[in-house]
Amino acid sequence: MVLNKNKIKILEEFCSDYHKKIYGRSIAKKLKINQKTISNTLNELEKENILKFSQEGRNKYYYLNNFYPHIKEVIKLIEIQRKIEFLERYKNIGELFLRLEERASGLLIIFGSYANFLANEKSDLDVFVIGNIKNTEDLEEIYRIKINIIKFTKEKFNKEEHIIKEVIKNHIVLKGVESFIELIW
């Protein structure tokens, strides 16, 4: 299995919900990629057993193959790729993210406008932590960014809570990608 650019882009669509079904045409429309290219790539992913599909009428809905022995590793690669894209996009404050990683123990996730790639100079940084994070007030002063930290424990983590749904739907995992995958699997 080789993950080319199109495969990565398609698999990223499943990161907002590892159990969702997606119609090929909607992927093509969202990614602004030719429908035939998307169709061919989806078929390749299906032949590699990474994706499965269900037929509903004339439509094929694709979903992650939970029985593929390496599916969590594939998801991990995609989540890491998303982190790399994120760090490249916000390289002007890359040092801030490194410092946050150093101060956090456990799971560290960025969500909100930064994870949506919609942040501007007035945006605050939404940080989700399962575990602990040391004080960040000095980082707020240095980088002139308001940092909103939401802390949870694994025991209090409930996928039905509004804030958790928001984090799952749109996230960048800075630290603890394997733990995150296991938590929401």
Containing 114, the helix (H) or strand (E) segment is none
At 34-90, the pLDDT tens digits run 999 999 999 999 999 999 999 999 999 999 999 999 999 999 999 999 999 999 999
Mean pLDDT of 136-145: 96
Q: Is the pLDDT of residue 145 over 80?
A: yes
Q: What is the pTM of this model?
A: 0.92
Mean pLDDT of 117-136: 96
pLDDT band at 111 (very low <50, low <70, confident <90, very high): very high
CB atoms within 10 A of CB 11: 22
How much of the chain exceeds pLDDT 70, in percent? 100
- Phi, psi values for residue 128, rounded to 5°: -110, 130
- Where along the chain do the CATH 3.30.460 domains lie? 79-184
CATH of domain 79-184: 3.30.460
Mean pLDDT of 123-149: 97
Q: For residue 150, give the nearest of 136, 16, 139 by alpha carbon.
A: 136
Residue 167 contacts by C-beta under 8 Å, 6 or more apart in sequence?
109, 111, 128
At 114-124, the pLDDT tens digits run 999 999 989 99
The pLDDT of residue 27? 96
Token digits for 49?
């057993």
* Measured distance CA(177)–CA(18) in Å, rounded: 14
Residue 153 contacts by C-beta under 8 Å, 6 or more apart in sequence?
130
- Where along the chain do the CATH 1.10.10.10 domains lie? 5-64
Find out whether 174 and 100 touch, Cβ atoms under 8 Å: yes
CB atoms within 10 A of CB 90: 17
Q: Is the pLDDT of residue 1 over 80?
A: no
The pLDDT of residue 2? 83
DSSP state letters, 169-180: HSEEEEE-HHHH
The pLDDT of residue 72? 97
CATH of domain 5-64: 1.10.10.10
